[in-house]
Amino acid sequence: MGQYLPIFALLVLAALFAAISFVASRLLNPPRPTPAKVSPYECGIVDQTEPPERFPVRFFLIAMIFIVFDIEIIFFYPFTLVYAELGGFGLVAIAIFSAAVFESFLYLISNGALDWGPAKRLRRSRLASMPARTTRSTIRRVGTEGREVPAGEAA
Amino acid sequence: MDPLLSGGIGLSEILIVLLKVVVAFAGLMVGVMAMVWFERKLVADMQNRIGPNRAGPFGILQTLADGIKLFFKEDLQPERSDPFVFKLAPYLALVPAFLVFTVIPIAGNFSDGQDGVVTLFGHETLMQVADPQMGILFVLAMSSVAVYGVMLAGWSSGSKYPLLGSVRASAQMVSYEAALGLSVATVLLFAGTLSTNGIVASQAGWRWNIWMTLLVPFVVFVIAATAELNRPPFDLVEAEQELVGGFHTEYSSIRFALFFLAEFMNTVTMSAVIVTLFLGGPSGPIPSGAPGWVQDFLLPLIYFFAKLLVFLFVFVWFRATLPRFRYDQLMDLGWKFLIPLALGWFLILTAIKVARDQGWNPVVAGAVAALAVVVGGLLLRSSIRAAEDKDFDAVDPADLDGAGA
């Protein structure tokens, strides 16, 4: 483990540097928070929900597909070090292994697991096929109680 | 393996280790300061501006001035943030950035079959902070840890823009890490060792991996490294026009400075990794008649820094020249082009290498492998077409809530 001693030393030094500069900044300018300063960066009204609640499921898919490839790479590294001893057997084995991983990769791609962005073809708005849905039938008007309703606008 | 630490470790060994660590630390800090200045000045030149020119000669102390300014800024913690993770994230970004540099050989004589061992204060050692056996795996491991810094920073801020930035960043870094790892595998095929010192030694005598691996893994690695660093044209993580500042929007003062430092340090170390893997690190022509210190230190250092500077220039050049990718383009490039290309190239080179070892005809073996890879590429193309033809988002009108009401 002696080979890792310098790495550990630099780890300690880097962490110390970060900690000391943090303390120095605290001493030089202690935080004086106000409600406006500590509110989240937002253009307009602050959101009522917590942001980490949900994000697109595609990101989870990417993480899972990455694990498949990471495992493939992890098997490649030892192979690169011993391929000379393995000879033809190793070549066939790595070809079969790569084909197996690549095949699952093709399955993912053909099912659109790695497609991003808007759908390729723009679909017609469904409103066009539903004449019953108009702004009058879909928008709820509030605050009209006891007021004169203009002719022709009765819901 | 560093001969310094192979035997018993006494006081003199520990002092040399400490000296190396402190020099590496100071060198990295100065290097980052110089890199920030270099980038700002060069981008300014490319955009026909002057750039920083007030602090020090040619504005070279601009970064120092900025750093001191950030010390005096107020360090705020947003009310919705997760206190512990919010404070932890800058450390998780900065510390791996420092550690990657430990395995980079920066000097030592690698000509005529020498293994770069130099003598420092009467002890034999290598001109790199550490040389663990799994050197290049350590680089990949640290770049994986850096993803946590970015991810946790955005997640713990309790704000919309940092979250979006960090989710994008982690998906991007993870995607390109696969391409990065596959192109490194090709280099390992030629080096036969994971140790960075061994990789450099295997490239001595102009057997640089950039042409030994026939250029393609190098190109894949440079593109993947640019994406891994979140540098333009892959800087969707902090796309100012849409995400304010990306994952560090809510960070101020010294915590922001630590992220900034980590970002530029990663640029410098990633350039050094490229030089180590593909351009033979500090190796180059060394006249045999020269004195020892010229052979061991001066010339290799000059070669290393000259090569390093090329890549630092290239990264700045990318930034000044290329417009930003769209997110789907970024993902398509990574998954549907770079990863299959790197994988196919690895298999072709493996077939050629094994054929040479076994006494088969390498041309035939390479051609057969290339044919298999082309078939794979055609299959990939038809898979992409198949995905485009499907309409996954199509909804049956009968399922629409309140349809026809």
Q: What is the pLDDT of residues B76-102, one digit of tens each?
A: 888 888 888 888 888 888 899 899 998
| Predicted local confidence at residue A154, as pLDDT | 52
CA distance B352 to A96: 17
| Predicted local confidence at residue A131, as pLDDT | 67
Question: What pLDDT digit, counting tens, does each position of B20-53 carry?
Answer: 899 999 999 999 999 999 999 999 999 999 888 8
Specify if B210 maps to a domain: yes
* Cβ <8 Å between A120 and B131: no
Specify if B385 maps to a domain: no
CA distance A72 to A67: 9
Q: Which residues of B touch A15 (CB under 8 A)?
A: 91, 95
Closest by CA position to B176, among listed B147, B215, B138: B147
Q: Find residue B118's DSSP bridge partners.
A: B125
The answer on pLDDT for B357 being more than 80 is: yes
* Cβ <8 Å between A51 and B339: no
Residue B32 identity: V
**pTM of structure:** 0.86
Measured between CA atoms, how close is A104 to chain B, in angstroms?
11
Q: Which residues of A touch B380 (CB under 8 A)?
A: 106, 109
Q: What is the mean pLDDT of chain B?
A: 86
Say whether B120 sits in a helix, a strand or coil: strand
The answer on pLDDT for B218 being more than 90 is: yes
Residues of chain A falling short of pLDDT 50: 121-123, 155
Q: Which comes out higher in pLDDT, residue B219 or A120?
A: B219
As a whole number, mean pLDDT of residues B311-338 equals 89
Reported as a pLDDT band with limits 50, 70 and 90, residue B267 is: very high
As a whole number, mean pLDDT of residues B282-293 equals 83
Reported as a pLDDT band with limits 50, 70 and 90, residue B396 is: low
| Predicted local confidence at residue A150, as pLDDT | 63
* Cβ <8 Å between B78 and A129: no
Reported as a pLDDT band with limits 50, 70 and 90, residue B403 is: very low
| Predicted local confidence at residue B266, as pLDDT | 92
> Which helix (H) or strand (E) element contains residue B119?
strand B117-120
CA distance A139 to A127: 14
| Predicted local confidence at residue A128, as pLDDT | 58
Specify if B386 maps to a domain: no
User: Residue B270 corresponds to which tokens in the numbers above?
Assistant: 């990633």
Say whether B124 sits in a helix, a strand or coil: strand
DSSP secondary structure string, B251-302? --HHHHHHHHHHHHHHHHHHHHHHHHHHS-TT-----TTS-HHIIIIIHHHH
The answer on pLDDT for B405 being more than 60 is: no
| Predicted local confidence at residue A149, as pLDDT | 65
Structural domains in chain B (count): 1
The answer on pLDDT for B126 being more than 90 is: no
* Cβ <8 Å between B393 and A119: yes
* Cβ <8 Å between A55 and B133: no
* Cβ <8 Å between A9 and B21: yes
| Predicted local confidence at residue B10, as pLDDT | 82
The answer on pLDDT for B395 being more than 60 is: no
Reported as a pLDDT band with limits 50, 70 and 90, residue B316 is: very high
Closest residue of chain A to B244, computed from CA coordinates: A41
Contact with chain B for residue A55, Cβ under 8 A: yes
Residue B364 contacts by C-beta under 8 Å, 6 or more apart in sequence? B355
* Cβ <8 Å between A31 and B182: no
* Cβ <8 Å between A29 and B18: no
Specify if B216 maps to a domain: yes
Closest residue of chain A to B393, computed from CA coordinates: A119
CA distance B136 to B195: 6
The answer on pLDDT for B196 being more than 80 is: yes
**A136 and A155 in contact (C-beta within 8 Å)?**
yes
* Cβ <8 Å between A21 and B71: yes
Q: Which residues of B touch A90 (CB under 8 A)?
A: 354
Measured between CA atoms, how close is A96 to chain B, in angstroms?
11
Measured between CA atoms, how close is B139 to chain A, in angstroms?
12
Measured between CA atoms, how close is B50 to chain A, in angstroms?
31
| Predicted local confidence at residue B404, as pLDDT | 44
| Predicted local confidence at residue B116, as pLDDT | 78
In A97-126, the residues whose Cβ lies within 8 Å of chain B are: 98, 102, 105-107, 109-112, 114-117, 119-121, 123, 126
| Predicted local confidence at residue B324, as pLDDT | 87
Residue B170 contacts by C-beta under 8 Å, 6 or more apart in sequence? A59, A63, B147, B150, B151
Contact with chain B for residue A45, Cβ under 8 A: no
**B165 and B251 in contact (C-beta within 8 Å)?**
no
Q: Which comes out higher in pLDDT, residue B167 or A152?
A: B167
User: Residue B40 corresponds to which tokens in the numbers above?
Assistant: 């700002």
The answer on pLDDT for B18 being more than 60 is: yes
Nearest to B354 among A22, A69, A90 (CB): A90
Give residue limits of the domains in chain A: 54-114
Q: Which domain holds residue B294?
A: 3-325
> Which helix (H) or strand (E) element contains residue B123?
strand B123-126
Question: What pLDDT digit, counting tens, does each position of B328-344 carry?
Answer: 888 889 888 999 999 99
* Cβ <8 Å between B9 and A55: no
Q: List the single range of A1-10, B89-98, B238-247, B373-382 with lowest mean pLDDT.
A: B238-247
Contact with chain B for residue A49, Cβ under 8 A: no
| Predicted local confidence at residue B144, as pLDDT | 86
**B252 and B76 in contact (C-beta within 8 Å)?**
yes
In A10-39, the residues whose Cβ lies within 8 Å of chain B are: 10-11, 13-15, 17-18, 21-22, 24-26, 28-29, 31-33, 35, 37-39
- List the Cα angle B323/B329/B331 in 5-degree steps: 125
Mutate to test the interface with B, among A105, A111, A127, A137 (most CBs of B within 10 A): A105
| Predicted local confidence at residue B274, as pLDDT | 94
Q: Which residues of B touch A6 (CB under 8 A)?
A: 2, 5, 17, 20-21, 102, 129-130
| Predicted local confidence at residue B283, as pLDDT | 85
Nearest to A18 among B91, B160, B372 (CB): B91
Specify if B108 maps to a domain: yes
Question: What pLDDT digit, counting tens, does each position of A32-48 carry?
Answer: 888 878 888 777 777 77
Q: Which residues of A touch B22 (CB under 8 A)?
A: 13
* Cβ <8 Å between A7 and B157: no
